[in-house]
Every structure is written in structure tokens, then in C-alpha cells.
Amino acid sequence: MIEHLVLFKFNKSITLDKELRLLEKMQNFQKLIPGIAYLTAGRNITNETERQQGYTLALRITFKDQAALETYGSHPVHQEFVSSLDGVIDNIIVADYPIHG
């Protein structure tokens, strides 16, 4: 299995409504993209504001295998989501790693 973590930092033009629509799109990935074993996504509610560094949304997907992660990357639903970030994203952090068990 492969764990996929993504943190999103938006620019000043993002509205709360737009951020919540993006969150809803991410939460629907599991229903629309094959190979996702588990998915969580949400708004960053940490009290450690000095460490938040402006990252307000987080996504965690557990993929069944490396092939599923690769399918996700090019899947039209994911690509449409990536396009919807145009004009509002400041930075993204991504980490992928294998998990066992």
C-alpha cells in the first residue's frame, strides 16, 4: 500500500466557499477514482499556528498499490481538481511512502 499526503496553502484570493468546494471534491475521490483504499481530507484546525505556515487543507489517501497511485495522478477527476486550483494556490507539499501491514 502507498500513503499519499498533500498539504495545500492558498493565496489571498481564496474564499471560504471555494476552499470548502475544493474539500468536497477531494472527499469524493474515493467514489470516483479506482484503487483508493482509504481517504481522509479536512481543514487544518491545529492550535500550533506558528507551525501551520498557512497550510489550511490536508489530504491523506491510502492507495492499494503503486499502480493505483499512478492511475490517480492521470485520472480525469484528479486532473479536473488540479485545474480548479489555478489562481488560488500558493504552494503544495506532497509526500508518498509505502506502508506495510
Query: How many separate domains does the chain show?
Result: 1
| Gap between the Cα atoms of 80 and 72, Å rounded | 12
| Gap between the Cα atoms of 82 and 85, Å rounded | 5
Give the neighbor-by-neighbor strand order of the sheet with 55-63: 36-43, 55-63, 2-10, 89-98
Does residue 30 belong to any structural domain of this protein? yes
How many beta carbons lie within 10 A of that of residue 83, not counting itself? 8
**Measured between alpha carbons, how far is residue 76 from residues 58, 73, 81 in Å?**
21, 9, 8
| pLDDT score of 101 | 65
| pLDDT score of 47 | 87
| pLDDT score of 100 | 85
Tell whether the model's pLDDT for residue 20 goes beyond 80.
yes
Does residue 38 belong to any structural domain of this protein? yes
Does residue 84 belong to any structural domain of this protein? yes
Tell whether the model's pLDDT for residue 94 goes beyond 90.
yes
Question: What percentage of residues in the chain have a pLDDT greater than 70?
Answer: 99
Does residue 61 belong to any structural domain of this protein? no
* Domain hosting residue 72, numbered range: 14-42+66-90
Does residue 85 belong to any structural domain of this protein? yes
69, three cell numbers = 497511485
Interval 38-58 mean pLDDT:
90
Does residue 6 belong to any structural domain of this protein? no
Does residue 57 belong to any structural domain of this protein? no
Does residue 55 belong to any structural domain of this protein? no
